[in-house]
Structure 1
């Protein structure tokens, strides 16, 4: 359930970002299992209209009921003592997650 929550939120955010982007749209999802580690990396096109507060990306969605996906992902990564990195560079938004499972 936790993995589905992570992937669902990552894909939902990537799709929405691509819908807003005017240039070459893409989503690149990689999932790797190495022993007891799971690595997820998503890269997608992005217009760069992002909100970053105290080093953390925040939702840009204005409607009620939005903005919980990033928090859910962060909580799951923390639950599994994992690592997450989000970055933006040259119209590409990237999320890298590594968690350990047993």
Structure 2
């Protein structure tokens, strides 16, 4: 519960920070546009391109916040996304949720938190400069929630082969069974994949 609260606090602080950034950006956007128009009129294409790149980067930073409308899921996903980003690992999200899910927040943390931590740990085991990406799907259709996360398997790991995802996975399986769900864990083409279906 303390970890859940910490994740939510980080998420809400991130939301507030990005709202402030967004307001500041919209306040200054006309200045950026006028500056670029002036540079183009003076045929200073190089500096105009620099200004455009700066503006794109500012918008890109705002887009990094994961938003599904469900605050619990958002807190978990953003925590994992920020953790991965700090290690040079990208997560490709495919998300669609209702604002309310009929599942315990603690169970949601166990399922998503453990599997995402394991995927990040696996990608971080790759050599520097070769960090891999993670695919994460969390989609709800009617009362069915599909969660799937996959990552490449490192050839060399601090853990024994096949053991990189051992930590917490048994807790995940127990949690899925407690919620009358289905879990599939498989390795194929050097990719480790966990697929979970829950009735929510």
Q: Which residue of structure 2 lines up, in the alignment, with residue 89 of structure 1?
A: 188
Long gaps (5+) in structure 2: 1-105, 156-160
1:27 aligns with 2:134: yes
Q: Which residue of structure 2 lines up, in the alignment, with residue 39 of structure 1?
A: 146
Tell me, in whole angstroms, the C-alpha distance in 2 between the residues paired with 1:100 and 1:19: 32
Deviations 1:11-64 (A, max 9, x none): 10000000113456110100011111111000111126214xxxxx972xxxxx
Asked whether the 8 Å contact 1:36–1:100 carries over to 2, the reply is yes
Asked whether the 8 Å contact 2:119–2:165 carries over to 1, the reply is no
Highest Rg: 1 or 2?
Answer: 2
Q: Structure 1 residues 89, 21: CA separation in 2 closer, same or farther (over 3 Å shift)?
A: farther
Q: Whose helix proportion is higher, 1 or 2?
A: 2
Q: Any runs of at least 4 consecutive aligned residues in structure 1 with deviations exceeding 2 A, and if so which? A: 21-24
Aligned length: 88
Asked whether the 8 Å contact 2:173–2:183 carries over to 1, the reply is yes
Q: Structure 1 residues 6, 34: CA separation in 2 closer, same or farther (over 3 Å shift)?
A: same
- Compute the RMSD of aligned alpha carbons: 1.9
Tell me, in whole angstroms, the C-alpha distance in 1 between the residues paired with 2:154 and 2:190: 6
Tell me, in whole angstroms, the C-alpha distance in 2 between the residues paired with 1:50 and 1:2: 25
Deviations 1:39-94 (A, max 9, x none): 1000111126214xxxxx972xxxxxxx3x11110011101111101111222110
Asked whether the 8 Å contact 1:24–1:45 carries over to 2, the reply is no
TM-score (normalised: structure 1)? 0.76
1:14 aligns with 2:110: no
More contact order relative to length (CA 8 Å, sep ≥ 6): 1
Q: Whose strand proportion is higher, 1 or 2?
A: 1
